[in-house]
Chains A and B, each alone.
Chain A
Amino acid sequence: MDHARSMRSMIIEEFFRHKLAVVGLVVIVSLTILALSADLISDWTGIDPNSQNVSARYLEPFTYAEEAADQRENKITEWIKDNPENAKKISAAIVEKQLLNVTVDDALYELVSKNPEEIQKLLKQIDLPEKKSLQTLSKTFSTFHLFGTDEIGRDVAIRLLYGTRVSMGVGVLVALVSALIGFLIGGIAGFYQGIIDTLLMRVTDALLSLPIVPVLIVFAAIDLTKLPGLKSLISGEFESVFKMVILLCLFSWMPVARLVRGSILTLREREFVLAARTLGAKDSTIIFRHLLPNVIATLLVSVTLGVGESILFEAALSFLGLGIMPPTASWGNMLNNAQEVIYKSVWIAILPGLLIWITVVSFNFIGDGLQEAMDPKSVKR
C-alpha cells in the first residue's frame, strides 16, 4: 500500500513539474467552474442565454442594450400591481419634489420612460426606503453585454458559457464512454484471444479505415430516431446533444481498444494474473480487479487526449450545421451562426473558435503531462 502511494505521489509530482500541463489544468478547471456556475451567473447578472432583444442585434463587445419602452411599461405595471402602497408613496414623492412635471398617476410610467442613468439619478433624490425594489427593477432596464450580442440580440458571453457546458460536456462524456467501450472491447479481445480477438480486431480495423468526417456527416444527416430503441432515448430538448454523443462514441473507441488490447496481451502472461487464474478467479474478476488497474494509466491519457478530439469533431459538425441544434448553444454552432456575418461582427466569429482552441490545447497539454508523468522511461531530468 505504502509503495502504491509513493508511486501515485511520484506521478503527481512529475505531472506538476510539467509547466504546460499545469497551465492546461488551470484553464480547464476554471472553464469547468465557469461552465458549472453558468446558471448562477445567469441569475446574478439577470441575463438569460435564450432571451432575445431584437432591438439590440449584433452589438459590439462592451456595450449596453436598453430594454424597449413597452417592455419597461409592462414591468412597471407588474410592479405597481405587486407593491401598490410603495408605488403611491414614490409617485407622490416624485410629484412633490417636482422631479417630473406630471400627475401622480403617470409619475412612475414617466419615470421608466427616461434613460436608465437618469432613472437612477432621479431615484437618488427620493429618500424613501421603499425605493429600493424600484431601483433593482430599473437596473434590469439596461443590460451590459461583455462580448456583445448575436443575430437575435442574445448575449454572446453567457451563450459562450452555456456553450462551454455543452461542448465540454460532450467532449468529456464521449471520451469517457469511448474509453469504457474501448477498454471492454480491447480487454475482451486481448483476454480471450482466438476467434473473438480476430473478430473484434477486424471490426476495429474496419472502423478505423473509414474516412471519419464524411461518415460522421452521413450519420449526422440521418434521423437516428428512425432506428428502433433510440427514439425514447433521444428526444426532447437535448435531442441533438445526445445524438452527438452517441455518434462520436461510435467512432472514437477504436484507438483505445487497440491500446488496451496490446497491454492486456502482455499483462495476461504476468505472474499475478496467472496466480489469480490458478486460484480460480472469475474472468470478470481478473479483468476488472487485476487488469483494469494496470491499464488505467493508458486509459487516463487517452481520455484526456480524446476530449480534445471530440470537441473538435463536435465543433466541425456543428459548424457544418449538422451537430448541436439551436437554440442550445455550443461553440460549433455559434461559429456556424457567425460565419455569415464575419465581416460585420468579427467578435462573434473569433470568440467561439478561440475558446475551442484554448480548451483543446489545454486538454492536450494535460494529456501530455500525464503521459510523461506515468512513463517510467521519462522519469529523468
Chain B
Amino acid sequence: MSSYILRRIIQTMIMIALVSYVCFFLMSLMPGDPIELMLSSNPKMTTADVERLRELYGLNQPATTRYINWVKTIAHGDLGYSRTYRVPVTEIIGARLLNSFILSLIALIFSLAIAIPLGVFSALRPNSKLDTFVSIFSFTGISVPSFWLGLLLILIFAVKLGWLPAGGTETIDAEFSSSWRYFWDRGLYIILPVLSLSLQQIGRFVRFVRSSMRETLQTDFVRTAKAKGLSMHDVIWKHAFRNALIPVITIIALSISTIFSGALLTETVFAYQGVGKLIYDSIMANDYNVAMVSFIISVSMVLIMSLVADLLYGVIDPRISYS
C-alpha cells in the first residue's frame, strides 16, 4: 500500500514537472510578448527602451533557459512577480484561490443536495413519471452552455427584476454592522454564479447517482437483504445507498479537483474574483508567472484528487487492494 502511494506520488511529481514545461513552452509560442504588447499601447518607447526591458525581464533568452530560471526561483519559494499587476504573485493568488474555493464548494454542496435525492428516488422508480422528468432535467442540465445561462440569469435577476447584483464578489467598501451582514452580502453576490455553475453539475451527478443506485439494487446482497425480510427503508438506506455512494465519492473527488479551473467561464461572465478568471486574464495578458502558478495549482489539484479518489476507493471497498 505505502509503496503504491509512494510510486503514485513520484509519478504525480514527474507529471507536474512535464506539464509545467509544456505549458511554459506553449505560452512562449503565443504571439506578442509582453514588451510588444506594451509597445503597441505606447508608441513613444524607443529601441533602447525595448532592449532594456527585454533584458530586465529576461525575454531575450530562449524559452528553455527562461524555464530553468523560473524553476530555480520557484525552488527558492518565490512564486515570481506579476507583470500585469506589478505585485508578487502570492499577493493576488491567495484571495483568488479562496474565492474560487468558496464558489465551487457551495456549488458542489448545493448540487449534491439536489442531485442525490433526485438520483436515488428516480432509481427506485425506474420509468416512472418522476424518473422521466429527472432524466430530461439532468440531460438539459448537462447540455446547457454555462456562460449563456450566466448571461440569462443576469438579464433576468439583475436587470429585469433587480433582485441580485449583476456581477462582482462583494459590495465594495460597505461597512457591515455584523459579520452576519457580511455573509449575507457575499451570499447575494454568489447566488447567480452558483446557479449557473450548479445546473450542469446537478445533471451529471443525478445520472451518476441513479445508475450507481440501480446497479446496487440489482446486486445479490440487496436481494438477500430483501429476502431476509428487512424493511424496504433499511434495505435502501442502510445497504443499497451506502454501496451506491462508493462511485459517487470518486466523482465528488474529481469534481473537487476542477475547483480551480472549472469555474473559469462562470467567473468571467460574473466578474467574480476567482482563480479561473485570473488564469484567463493572465494568459491573455501574457503574464507568465501568474499563468504558470495558477496552471500548476490546477494540474496538481487534478492529479492529487485523482490519487485521493483511488485511495478512498480502496478504503471504502475492501475488494480493491493496491499491491
CB-CB under 8 A from A217, the residues of chain B are 264, 279-280, 283
Question: Is B244 at the interface (CB under 8 A from chain A)?
Answer: no
Decide: A218 near B283, CB < 8 A? Known: A308-B143, A353-B152, A361-B139: yes
Decide: A360 near B143, CB < 8 A? Known: A218-B283, A226-B29, A320-B280: yes
Question: Is B77 at the interface (CB under 8 A from chain A)?
Answer: no
A319 to B31, Cβ gap below 8 A? no
- The closest CB in chain B to the CB of A23 belongs to B136
- The closest CB in chain B to the CB of A224 belongs to B29
CB-CB under 8 A from A219, the residues of chain B are 26
Q: Which of B22-61 touch A at CB < 8 Å?
A: 23, 26-27, 29-31
A211 to B298, Cβ gap below 8 A? yes
User: Which of B31, B148, B154, B291 lies in contact with A335, CB distance below 8 A?
Assistant: B148
User: Which of B19, B31, B148 lies in contact with A223, CB distance below 8 A?
Assistant: B31
Decide: A209 near B306, CB < 8 A? Known: A214-B280, A308-B143, A353-B151: yes
User: Which of B135, B284, B302 lies in contact with A221, CB distance below 8 A?
Assistant: B284
Chain B: minimal CB distance from A314 (Å): 10
Q: How far is the CA of A206 from the CA of B261 in the complex (A)?
A: 16
Query: Count of chain A residues with Cβ under 8 Å from any Cβ of B?
Result: 40
- The closest CB in chain A to the CB of B302 belongs to A209
Chain B: minimal CB distance from A39 (Å): 27
Question: Is A286 at the interface (CB under 8 A from chain B)?
Answer: no
Question: Is A196 at the interface (CB under 8 A from chain B)?
Answer: no
B295 to A214, Cβ gap below 8 A? yes
Question: Is B147 at the interface (CB under 8 A from chain A)?
Answer: yes
CB-CB under 8 A from A316, the residues of chain B are 145, 147, 265
Q: How far is the CA of A308 from the CA of B141 in the complex (A)?
A: 13
User: Which of A218, A308, A315, A343 lies in contact with B26, CB distance below 8 A?
Assistant: A218
B142 to A364, Cβ gap below 8 A? yes
Decide: A346 near B155, CB < 8 A? Known: A222-B30, A360-B143: yes
Question: Is B65 at the interface (CB under 8 A from chain A)?
Answer: no
B30 to A213, Cβ gap below 8 A? no
CB-CB under 8 A from B284, the residues of chain A are 221
Question: Is B98 at the interface (CB under 8 A from chain A)?
Answer: no
Chain B: minimal CB distance from A94 (Å): 51
Question: Is A339 at the interface (CB under 8 A from chain B)?
Answer: yes
Quick one: CB contact mask for A123-165 with B, threshold 8 Å, 1 for yes?
A: 0000000000000000000000000000000000000000000
Quick one: CB contact mask for B126-167 with A, threshold 8 Å, 1 for yes?
A: 010000000110011011110111011011000100000000
* Chain A, interface SS category: helix
Chain B: minimal CB distance from A196 (Å): 18
Question: Is A365 at the interface (CB under 8 A from chain B)?
Answer: yes
Chain B: minimal CB distance from A239 (Å): 14
Question: Is B197 at the interface (CB under 8 A from chain A)?
Answer: no
B261 to A213, Cβ gap below 8 A? yes
Q: How far is the CA of A117 from the CA of B152 in the complex (A)?
A: 38
CB-CB under 8 A from A312, the residues of chain B are 143, 145
A20 to B136, Cβ gap below 8 A? yes
User: Which of A213, A221, A223 lies in contact with B265, CB distance below 8 A?
Assistant: A213
6 A-B contact pairs sorted by A residue (CB < 8 Å): A214-B280, A218-B27, A218-B283, A221-B284, A316-B147, A335-B145
Chain A residues with CB under 8 Å of chain B are 20, 206, 209-215, 217-219, 221-223, 226-227, 308, 312, 315-316, 319-320, 335, 339, 342-343, 346, 349-350, 352-353, 356-357, 360-361, 364-365, 368, 381
Chain B residues with CB under 8 Å of chain A are 15, 18-19, 23, 26-27, 29-31, 127, 135-136, 139-140, 142-145, 147-149, 151-152, 154-155, 159, 258, 260-262, 264-265, 268, 276, 279-280, 283-284, 291, 294-295, 298-299, 302-303, 306
